[in-house]
Each structure stands twice: as structure tokens, then as C-alpha cells.
Amino acid sequence: MNDELKADRAPAANAMWGGRFAGGPDAVMEAINPSIGFDRRFYAQDIDASIAHAEMLAAQGIITAEDGDAIRQGLEQIRGEIERGDFTFSTALEDIHMNVEARLKAIIGEPAGRLHTGRSRNDQVATDFKLWVRQAIDGLEDGLRDLQAALLDQAENEAATLMPGYTHLQAAQPVTFGYHLLAYVEMFGRDRSRFADARKRLNECPLGAAALAGTSFPIDRQRTAKALGFDRPTANGLDSVSDRDFAMEFLAAGSILAVHLSRFAEEVVIWCSPGFGFIQLSDAFTTGSSIMPQKRNPDAAELVRGKAGRVIGSLIALITMMKGLPLAFNKDMQEDKEPLFDAADTLRLCVAATAGMVRDLRTERPAMLAATQAGFLTATDLADWLVRRLEMPFREAHHVTGALVALAERQGCRLDELALSDMQAVEPRLTDDIYQALAVESSVASRQSQGGTAPARVLEAVTAARRRFLEG
């Protein structure tokens, strides 16, 4: 063994493990085993859960009221120390649970040893983790609501701003920019719904499951569940300590959210590029080049786009770790926290950055309008006119429209620049009315169906979305 590792070997057993272990852990074990480097983020949840547990123990007569009060006061003191930065975390004590318990013993003495009655670190960590994820979901809910509000404000302002709508990144039909933004309002609404569903399922309290089989002490699990804001206790102790579905669901919903954020970010990058020039972002969300002074790079959007892979990777890491684990708790499950912490931090930041970009962007309406003049965007309107006015079957109308598009391509002009006589050579029944149908403004205004791009429908949709997503 390396001399340095020998020198770092702990000389005595970890007291928290109990009397079975006579020797100390190897230095490598000391390096791989502790989780305090990351699970210290649970401190508030761990203290809240311990206070609820202690109060229940006292109410049930399992510990004295005096010990319950001492435990609560000591835990509140520890909370204050951590929040002030006065608490010393020890890797020798492995995790947040043991760090808090050891400090509690130093503060109140022997009563601290009664706190762990009727529970295990297995149900303790499951409870703390659920409380943390629940809080993370609530934070994302607030962030996504703010993002939708920003999108709705812009959609209202740009309800009549004409731009090309795309399929295959090819200009397809004219739409409005407000209509385009409303698509993302719907996406982020579904994200909020997924997180809300996940929150409902996770909101069962594992505390009292103990190691895996419950406890012989007369605990009141309903009381602790209610005190911690859970809907009910979990139904099966074995499942309680084995379950990480809530973490996987959070990361699954988070991965879909990350994809939506990335898709919007990609469009921001495209819209900012000189080939499009549809929007501008200010210096607040762009950077310059170290060598090319003319550059304005949409770095915020690119970073949001890039971080999607990080969130998706966290999901893959967790489900891969969980896939082969037998019941109940296994130390592998210590690997559940870092990916989720990182993903939650990343999502919160990306949602805030995206909301900031939405509020910051300024449209270049002339460039958007000019882009609608290329690509024969009103070809579908021509086919629809043939169906309505000439009662032509749509497939035949599609064929006639294709022939007129080919004619315009040969002449190097737009559809509305073709001479009526040239169009009548393809379809003799065409009249001057066709030119009104070929105007992009008319095309957009005609899309009056529910969910359509007509400016009046966009404004109605903004009002309806505000009611659905922002009120109540």
C-alpha cells in the first residue's frame, strides 16, 4: 500500500457504525464512502424531518417531552450555525445525518441519542430527498410560470408580426411571430403539468419505514407526514426505502424541459444569425469575439442549448444505476443525488436565462416580412382558393398549384407577380380575385380556425393562456 494512504488511515472505528467494527476504514474507503460533500444540501430538510420525528416521539410517549424540547432547540441551533457558515462538516461522519446528529450530541448530550429511535438512515435519507425534490419542483414551477408570462407578453406585442413558418427548416406558410411564441407557451405548460404530476406522486412520507420493515415502537406516521406537508405516509416500508422513482421522474420531466429549452434556444440562435436577422439580443445576453470586433454571439442561447445534454445525462446516470438493484436500500443509491442536484441547478438557471432572453429580444419586423416574400409561402392558399371558388378536389388543386409554382420559378418571380394570363394558361377559370388570396397578410388573416395564426386568434389565445397558466 502507498505510504501516503497508510498514513491517512483512520486509527479507530467510526463510532456511528457501532461496536461491530473494531478497525478503522481504509483511506480509500474514507475517500469513496462519504457523501457529506454533496448531501450537506439536505441540511434544512434533515433538520425539519428530525424535528417532526422528535415531536412525534414525544407526543407518543416514546421519549420525554423534555428530551423532545431539547432535541428541537438543539436542531434549531444547528440550523442557525449552518446558515451562518459556522458549522464544521466532517467527512469522517460520512453524511449530513451523522454530522447533524454528532453536533446535536455535542450541544445537548445524552438526549441526542434518543432522536434516532424508530427510524433509520434509510427512511431518513428518502424523506430528506423527497422534501428536497419537492422544493426543487416548486422552484421550477415559479420559474416556468415566469417564462410563460414573458412569452405571452411578447406574443401579444407581436400578434400581427409576419414571418415564415417552417417545416424541415424550409419556409412553408406565413405565420405571426406571436403565434410562433405561443407554441412554446404550450410546451412549457406541459412541462409544468409533468412536474405537478410528479409532485403528487412523490408526496408520500417514508419516515417511519425505518431500515426496511417498519419499527416496533408505537410511532404515529400520520403525524410526521402531516407535519412535513406530505399527503400521507408511504404504504410499504420496503418500497419506501428502495424507491427513487420520484428522482427519476424529476429527471425525466427535467430532460423533456431541457429539450424544449434547447429547441427555443436553437431558434434564437437561428433568428439572430445574419441569414435570418429576425431578432436582436442586447449585450445582456450576448458576448463579443476576442478577435472579430463585429461579432455579437448569442452565447446565452447556445449555453442553454448545450446544457440539455447535461440534464439528459443525469437521467441516464440515475436510471442506469437503479436498473439492477435488489430491494431494499443499497449504497449504490448514494449516487442518486449529485446528478439530480446538478440537473436541478442547471434547469433553474436555464429557465431564468430563457425568460431573460425572451424579455430582452427585439424583433426586426422588416426582415421577417421580407422573408415571407420568398419560397412561395402562399401556395397552400392558392390551392385552398381553387377548392373554395372552383369546387376543385384538393388533390387536383394541389397539382394545379404545383404547376403555377413551377411557372413562377421559371420566370424568377413570386406567385403574386405572375400575369393573370400566364396563370390562366394553366387554369382558365382563375380570376383577379386570386391575387388577394396570394397576399401574405390575407393568408395569415384567413387562418381563423381554433389554434390558427390569424392575429385575432393569437390575441384570443394569449388571453386564454393567461387564464390557464398564470391566474389562480
53 flagged as catalytic: no
Which of 120, 289, 398, 443 is an active site residue?
289
Which of 90, 168, 262, 449 is an active site residue?
168
Percent helix, percent strand, percent coil in the chain, to nearest 5: 65, 5, 30
Q: Which residues, at least 6 apart from 445, have a Cβ–Cβ distance to it below 8 Å? A: 454, 455
Q: What is the DSSP letter of 431?
A: -
In a 10 Å sphere around its CB, with 0-12 CB exposed, 13-18 middle and 19+ buried, how is residue 295 labelled? Answer: exposed
Grid cell 461579432 — which residue? 295
What dihedral angle (degrees, nearest 10) is formed by the CA atoms of 361, 362, 366, 367? -30
Q: What is the DSSP letter of 157?
A: H
289 flagged as catalytic: yes
Q: In DSSP terms, which residues pair with 165 in a beta bridge?
A: 173
One-character DSSP codes across 219-270:
--HHHHHHHTT-SEE-S-HHHHHH--HHHHHHHHHHHHHHHHHHHHHHHHHH
Give the distance from CA 137 to its chain's centroid.
8
Q: In DSSP terms, which residues pair with 167 in a beta bridge?
A: 170
Which stretch of DSSP H or E encloses residue 68? helix 65-84
Cell numbers of 49, please? 424531518
Contact 204, 233 (CB under 8 A): yes
What is the DSSP pairing of strand 232-233 with strand 204-205? parallel
Residues recognised as catalytic? 168, 289
